[in-house]
């Protein structure tokens, strides 16, 4: 890839082609359109300072498409959720997210507080 401008142009061409053919925009498809032989190469390209913003933009385009798919009425969203998780998204944690040590300390603190309220036996 000679420069970020060429990278951006190829990304835009890939997205336009997908739109014209009513195909989904995917990160793997984008990697292939850019001439990479594996998507990990595209991720690593983002480590180059001059290409970092372009790779971030490309990832945001793909994530945006997956995210929009979550709101398609009556659509199957499992694939979009899976893809977003592969891009670092995660489910909102439910319930107690403390570590086992933190939970144990909370129990010890509660027991100590309870013992402090119980009067000493005569």
pLDDT of 99 above 60 = yes
Q: Name which residue leads in pLDDT, 121 or 90.
A: 90
What's the whole-number mean pLDDT along residues 18-35?
Answer: 93
Q: Could you tell me if 11 and 54 are in contact, meaning their C-beta atoms sit under 8 angstroms apart?
A: yes
Measured distance CA(74)–CA(93) in Å, rounded: 26
Whole-number mean pLDDT of the chain? Answer: 81
Nearest to 31 by CA among 43, 23, 40, 39: 39
Q: What pTM value is reported for the model? A: 0.63
Q: Is 38 exposed, middle or buried (0-12, 13-18, 19+ CB in 10 A)?
A: exposed
Measured from the Cβ of residue 46, the count of other Cβ atoms closer than 10 Å reads 15
High-pLDDT (> 70) share of the chain, %: 71
| Average pLDDT rounded to a whole number, residues 9-34 | 94
- Start-to-end CA span in the chain (Å): 85
DSSP percent split of the chain into helix, strand, coil, nearest 5: 60, 0, 40
């Amino acid at each position: 890839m000679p420069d970020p401008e060429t990278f951006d142009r190829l990304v835009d061409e890939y997205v336009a082609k997908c739109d014209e053919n009513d195909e989904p925009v995917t990160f793997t498809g984008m990697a292939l359109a850019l001439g990479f032989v594996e998507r990990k190469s595209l991720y690593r390209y983002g480590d180059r300072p001059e290409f970092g913003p372009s790779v971030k933009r490309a990832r945001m385009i793909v994530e945006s498409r997956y995210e929009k798919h979550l709101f398609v009425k009556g659509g199957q969203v499992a694939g979009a959720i899976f893809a977003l998780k592969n891009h670092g998204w995660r489910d909102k944690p439910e319930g107690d997210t403390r570590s086992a040590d933190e939970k144990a300390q909370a129990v010890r603190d509660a027991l100590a507080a309870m013992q402090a309220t119980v009067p000493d036996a005569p």
